[in-house]
Homo-oligomer: A and B are copies of this chain.
Amino acid sequence: MAVSMHDVARVAGVSQRTVSNVVNNYEFVRPETRQRVLDAMAALGYVPNAAARSLRSARTGLIALVVPDFRARIFADLAGPVVREAEALGYTVLIELTGSDREHELTVLTGGRNQLTDGAIMMALSLRPEDGQRRRVDYPIVLVGDQVLEGQVHHVGIPNKDASAAVVRHLVSAGRRRLMLLGHDPHGGQTARMRARGFLDGLAEEGLTAHEELLVGAGWTREGGQSAIEEHLDAGRPMPDAIFAMNDSLALGALRALHARGIRVPQEVALVGFDDVEEARYATPSLTSVSPDVEALAANAVAMLHEQITGKPSGREQHIMVDFRLKVRESSQ
């Protein structure tokens, strides 16, 4: 059996209460008493028991990070900052992988399997807006990304619409006029819809209109991007002078297809992606991409969750949009 507070108290010649006070940095302990307790703790190798503490305090100090999969770069990028921010507030992060399964995501929304975590940060891909109603109200949750639920659900989002419009402005100001949207999916998730909206709004603001044949559907993967471009070219459809791929995977796939067909980027076609994955910097040519502020995403999500957990009245907005930057690289200039 591990050493308990009781053992420490006995060795230090104080009561358990005093040991607890020291462990929890309670202010009013005489310095010499504190030192005696600290010495006893060190001598015995005392480590507080998390289970007992959370049983008593009804808080576990654990928060869940619920993501579809770590293979997709954006989720892996999120993990580091979330862990760091959480640690700073005294939480430990626990991973939960949903595989984008709707049932699994609903389970989290309705309170999780057991009372293991104080709350969750979730990147949900399969929830529907009306699922918000099913949320268990006393389980703190912050949604990250795009899926906005109905009801009182805190949320930190990526500025898909604004950033997409910014991409259009960038391309048009560089003299491009025939813009292709790659990865179009009007009945897909909110991410796809918002990025398309930003693209179309951006065109409209510039006095341009979208060419139907340049709104190209494709799975949001490299294979998707590559084959969509190949098919487009092989079918002899109108040639764009710029391509906005809805994420970097699509863009890198497109780049490969263009390269294989001998079409020069950016001379003949400019190319812009979204997410700014690491590879974007190292592609040939390096890829212009939208870089959402992931650190801010993590920091806000953890802070909002912490506020819910501690029940602090929030001065913060319930919905936050983080900032973005357009990293202009070789592929678009």
Contacts and interface: CB of A to CB of B under 8 A. Distances in A.
A241 interface: no
Contacts of A51: 51-52, 54-55, 60, 115
* Interface size, A (range): 35 or more
Given A47-B114, A60-B51, A94 B92 contact: yes
Contacts of A115: 2, 47-51
A97 B83 contact: yes
A48 B112 CA distance: 11
Interface in A270-314: 278-279, 282, 284
A116 B50 contact: yes
A259 B283 CA distance: 11
Contact of A47 (B69, B71, B84, B111): B111
Interface string A51-68: 110110000101001000
A134 to B, nearest CB: 13
Which one of A65, A70, A80 has the greatest number of beta carbons of chain B within 10 Å? A70
Contacts of A113: 47
A60 B94 CA distance: 13
B97 A95 contact: no
B77 A114 contact: no
A309 to B, nearest CB: 15
Contact of A94 (B49, B62, B70): B62
A76 interface: yes
Contacts of A92: 94, 96, 116
A28 B259 CA distance: 68
Given A80-B97, A95-B79, A71 B252 contact: no
Given A47-B114, A71-B278, A282-B256, A94 B94 contact: yes
Contact of A256 (B49, B69, B284): B284
A321 interface: no
A222 interface: yes
10 contacts: A51-B51, A51-B60, A70-B77, A70-B80, A71-B76, A71-B80, A76-B76, A80-B97, A95-B95, A256-B282
> What 5 A-B pairs come out closest when comparing CB atoms?
A51-B55, A76-B76, A51-B54, A70-B76, A50-B116
Given A50-B115, A70-B70, A71-B77, 7 more contacts: A48-B115, A51-B52, A52-B55, A73-B76, A84-B97, A94-B94, A253-B282
Interface of A: 2, 47-52, 54-55, 60, 62, 65, 69-71, 73, 76-77, 79-80, 83-84, 92-97, 111, 113-116, 222, 252-253, 256, 259, 278-279, 282, 284
